[in-house]
Structure 1
Amino acid sequence: MAHPQRAEPGPGQESVWDYPRPPRLEPVAERLRVAFAGQLIADSRAGWRVLETSHPPAYYIPPQDIRLDALRPAPGGSWCEWKGRAAYWTLELDGRIAPNAAWSYPDPVPAFRAIAGCLAFYAGRVDACWVGEERVRPQPGDFYGGWVTDRVVGPFKGAPETRGW
């Protein structure tokens, strides 16, 4: 299957088609926040983002900046060829439950050691996520967890017709 036509980034934007494969990990200077059940459950200025070809960035937040009392391990897991085995987390707060709302890499490969124990949240399974002051949109589809902002252009992998990209 041919790759889609890359959108040309404007000033201050990045194309996900310029991101590397294998992916790159980099620190995030901006504030990252996640809200669920009407409460801020994550708030960090020490986050990370993973940049991978065709995907909007996935943001990882260190555990000390997360309300861990609202999370419990979820069954199952998955395997990333670049990062290793992923574990999933269910959010439960004030009577609301969001199964598999977050994931982490408890013991990632050495290139991604910095995100060991950090959590990434699916923007579509929580109330809201922000990078800086911008509210993010979820990556298309139900498997990948990238955060779409006005700073990234696609098209993005994730919807069913993109599986062969």
Structure 2
Amino acid sequence: MARERLTPGPEHPITVAPADGRVVVRAGDAVVADTVSALILREAHYPPVVYLPLSDVDSSMLRESATTTYCPFKGEANYYDLVVDGGVLPDALWVYRDPYDAVATIGGHVAFYPDRVQIDTGVARAG
């Protein structure tokens, strides 16, 4: 059975734009990600989502999860658990490995659940 595939439009807009400044993601005291190349995805009535380049995430803290979800506007999402200080935050972040054309720029980027980590946007640079 084919999955429904939808295109953003006036009734369900999606935009992706560069984030201003630096974004740092922490789990407790541990810095999980630090980037100046984040993207902000705004979708319809949902809160904005920050997407960070996977290359700017500490890969030693990631463990692939078996969880997947599907969005008809973005495609299939794969999840990672976050392993921090001997603990595990299950399915704390996700990636669209092959996002649909309308959101292709989020390819290679991950998003974190804000209730599982601290996401600081617009962090001032030191020095």
TM-score normalised to structure 2 length: 0.83
Aligned to 1:157: none
Q: Which amino acid aligns with 1:56?
A: P
Q: Which amino acid aligns with 2:119?
A: C
Aligned to 2:16: 25
Question: Alignment partner of 1:55: what SS?
Answer: coil
Match of 1:41 among 2, 9, 32: 32
Mapped to 2, the partners of 1:26 and 1:112 lie a distance apart of 10
Aligned to 2:78: 87
Match of 1:109 among 85, 100, 117: 100
Mapped to 2, the partners of 1:37 and 1:68 lie a distance apart of 17
Mapped to 1, the partners of 2:81 and 2:61 lie a distance apart of 8
Structure 2, gaps ≥5 residues long: 1-9
Mapped to 1, the partners of 2:13 and 2:33 lie a distance apart of 28
Question: Alignment partner of 2:99: what SS?
Answer: coil
Match of 1:131 among 109, 121, 124: 121
- Deviation sequence 1:60-115 (CA, Å, 0-9, x none): 00012110110011112111111100011100022011001001100001122211
TM-score normalised to structure 1 length: 0.65
Contact 2:67 2:91 in 1 (8 A): no
Aligned to 1:72: 63
Across the aligned residues of Structure 1 and Structure 2, the Cα RMSD in angstroms comes to: 1.8
Contact 1:41 1:66 in 2 (8 A): yes
How many angstroms does 1:20 deviate by? 7.0
More strand by percentage? 2
User: Identical aligned pairs, as a percentage?
Assistant: 32
Measured at CA, do residues 34 and 20 of structure 1 come closer, stay the same or move farther in structure 2, by a change above 3 Å?
Answer: farther
Match of 1:120 among 111, 114, 119: 111
Question: Alignment partner of 1:129: what SS?
Answer: strand
Structure 1, gaps ≥5 residues long: 1-18, 134-165
Number of residues of Structure 1 aligned to a counterpart in Structure 2: 115
